[in-house]
Amino acid sequence: MTADIHIRKKGRVGRITLTRPKALNALSYEMAMAIEAALEDWRTDDDVALILIDAEGDKAFCAGGDIQQLYDTGRAGDYDYGRRFWADEYRLNAKIAGYPKPYIAFMQGFVMGGGVGISCHGSHRITCESTQIAMPECGIGLVPDVGGSLILARAPGRLGEYLGTTGTRMGPDDAIYAGFADTYVPQLMWPTLIAKLSETGDPSLITDHAQTPPPGPLRALTPQITQHFSGETLRDILNALRAEDSDFARDTVKSLSRNSPLSMACTIEMIHRLRGPAADIGRALGLEYRFTYRAMEQGDFLEGIRAAIIDKDRKPHWKHGLDSLPGSAVAQMLQPLGKDALTLEEAKT
């Protein structure tokens, strides 16, 4: 068991608490595997009526995956560590999405990247005043992953393309509207609600505590977003935005110009492929894995991490310019992996 996570049974509930508040509860490989082991134990445990995941500290439920080790191994030319990390993490995301018991996430502060993967696929996703959910991966040369591409594809209008490429943060109302959360419960009420859930194992009690969140900006922006983000490609979207003289268009182009063009173009293509009734969590994770499998060797991931987290100069040198991305680059990153394709079964060691 890792010191960064506290796993126990309390009353009728299997409790998982992330305990790395100083690191914004960033999800390490060991933490992800500990969560998976607990879920397997509790799957057939009749004493456990539901799963409850929360985190210590006010700033973040989980601000993402623990990237340092991915960076160090990738820089050393070892791509296998990252590929195993992503494959195992995605298996956990799929298990949460298909879990047979209620899975309740209490999401305060930042919920990003890997944090989305262990909360937003649950059956009951609770926000509060401080919740800020985002998929900012394009800023570090990745794509929205951990199954987040599927949630984006199911968002209203063209919100998925907008949220996925800009990494815009969603407060509670926006997160509920976009399909990343279900309920708003003020944080002061959380201890009482958690105590009642532990005692009864009855998730319907959440409804008694739910309130209407303060309105966020996304609902009103949806017509503009849909108008500009309906294009087939990143270039189409940029052309639509540049053709309009408005604060929204200018601010959005500014956001897009910071992120990896390759990542954004692939994000748009992935969301388009996942839009429709045939898409499920397995298909989304498989598509994401095609990108992350190649992200260090062929993508912008290592440079994105260097600029954002290692050197913190915020001046990434992306492989392609915003207006000079060849169409073939997206196809290369998303082509099938053959024998290396993601399988959601556990590797037999």
Which residue of the set 36, 66, 145, 173 is catalytic?
145
Is 216 part of the annotated catalytic residue set? no
Which residue of the set 66, 137, 182, 269 is catalytic?
137
Of 252, 334, 333, 342, the C-alpha closest to 300 is 333
* Residue 337 half-sphere exposure toward CB, CA atoms < 13 A: 19
Q: What whole-number distance in Å separates Cα of residue 165 and Cα of residue 259?
A: 8
Is 109 part of the annotated catalytic residue set? no
Which residue of the set 114, 167, 171, 216 is catalytic?
114
Asked if 262 contacts 325 with a C-beta cutoff of 8 angstroms, the reply is: yes
Query: How long, in residues, is the chain?
Result: 349
Pair of tokens at residue 347: 């590797």
Angle (deg, nearest 10), helices 159-166 and 261-274: 150
Contacts of 11 (CB under 8 A, 6+ apart): 198, 199, 200, 201
Q: What whole-number distance in Å separates Cα of residue 20 and Cα of residue 146?
A: 20
Q: What whole-number distance in Å separates Cα of residue 158 and Cα of residue 227?
A: 8
Is 114 part of the annotated catalytic residue set? yes
- The single-letter DSSP state of residue 346 is P
Contacts of 44 (CB under 8 A, 6+ apart): none
Is 113 part of the annotated catalytic residue set? no
Which residue of the set 14, 64, 65, 74 is catalytic?
65
- Which residue numbers are catalytic? 65, 114, 137, 145
